[in-house]
Structure 1
Amino acid sequence: MKVFAIRLKPNEDLRQSLKNFANQENIKAGFILSAIGSLQQATIRFANQDVSTVLTDKFEVISLNGTIATTGVHLHIAISDNKGKTLGGHLDNGCIIYTTAEIIIGTSQEFTFNRTFDGQTGYLELEITRNYL
């Protein structure tokens, strides 16, 4: 496993920055090991919803999980507000960093992650290919 550590700065878009990083580093099969930080805006698609919700306030990033590759990212986020209320869902473009985001990404040379259309779900879903080294 190879490990990357990145820090995002104020006003950067969390999802877009991770997509750009995957392309820059040519990540074929990555996954989030750890992520903390803060947002000044959160754009999240909640369970079983067709459109994302934009929340404008200050939030702590409690958790970020999922896969990252040059072929796409699929990430879920949990955030909390200034009263500790926590909510989460599918990370979308428009999650804007407030002070920082500290993210540790692991990668595997053993696999390649692709996103292919799944007729059963109607979404681009993870397709895992094992690389024989």
Structure 2
Amino acid sequence: MRSVPLHLEPGSDLRRSLEQLAQEQNASGFVLGVVGNLAQAAFQCPGKIAPTVLRGELEIITLQGTLSPEGVHLHLSLSDGECRVWGGHLEPGSRVLKGADLLVGLLESTAAAATETAAAEASANEPLEPLEPRVTIAVRSGCPFSRRALRMLRTLGIPHRLIEPSADGPVPQIFFDGELIGGYDELAQRHGRGELEALRRA
């Protein structure tokens, strides 16, 4: 498991941001901790037909649950200005007020797990695809160019391995067969020239 910090700016959708993180990282995990407040909270109370929506300065008390590329299951509790505690199943529409900082624990990426499973089940007499993807990419959570690069690789069906960026290095950093080609702009240029076709999954 690796711990991933996630900072949300004012106006960010709490649930959508966690869904996006799981999709970008292509990994499952769970929320380890959260500090922050909301301007609006949307949550499903037990037995209610529609979500409850609160507005104001709402302090987040807890956020627990799981996330994966297929979706999230999260339970939120919060306090309003009268110190009344509310809670339920987190729904889209919960907007950050001043900011929120989360720590998310991510398990082994589903893509890597699927690759290892396929390799283990393949016949020993049949040639196997290389287990190590030819493309490696260093990204940082919250970086729009990292999101664009990951979206392009997923859309084109190009296997890739995620690594942690250096502390002060720019992101994304994209490597083909271990050689740095640059960032998102260089990736887009190669796509425009048709040079990414050879990297696509067969």
**TM-score in same-fold range (> 0.5):** yes
Q: Which has the higher strand share?
A: 1
Q: How many angstroms apart in 2 are the aligned matches of 1:107 and 1:13?
A: 20
Q: How many angstroms apart in 2 are the aligned matches of 1:108 and 1:70?
A: 12
Q: CA deviation at 1:53?
A: 1.3
- Structure 2 residue aligned with 1:48: 47
Alignment map for 1:60-99 (pairs within 5 Å)? 60-99=59-98
Q: Deviations over 1:74-119 (max 9, x none)?
A: 000000011211110000000000011110000222x96xxxxxxx
Q: CA deviation at 1:67?
A: 0.2
- Structure 1 residue aligned with 2:26: 26
Cα RMSD, aligned residues only: 1.8
TM-score of the superposed pair, with normalisation by structure 2: 0.53
- Structure 2 residue aligned with 1:6: 6
Q: How many angstroms apart in 2 are the aligned matches of 1:81 and 1:70?
A: 32
TM-score of the superposed pair, with normalisation by structure 1: 0.79
SS of the aligned residue for 2:33 comes to strand
Paired residues, what number?
113
Q: How many angstroms apart in 2 are the aligned matches of 1:42 and 1:66?
A: 17
- Structure 2 residue aligned with 1:117: none
SS of the aligned residue for 1:51 comes to coil
Percent identity of paired positions between Structure 1 and Structure 2: 35
The one-letter amino acid of 1:17's match is S
Q: Deviations over 1:10-56 (max 9, x none)?
A: 001100111111111111x2100001210000111101222101111
Unaligned runs of 5+ in 2: 111-115, 121-202
- Structure 1 residue aligned with 2:105: 106
- Structure 1 residue aligned with 2:157: none
Q: How many angstroms apart in 2 are the aligned matches of 1:50 and 1:4?
A: 34
Deviation beyond 3 Å, 4+ runs, structure 1: none
- Structure 2 residue aligned with 1:116: none
Q: Which has the higher helix share?
A: 2
- Structure 2 residue aligned with 1:37: 36
Structure ID, larger Rg: 2
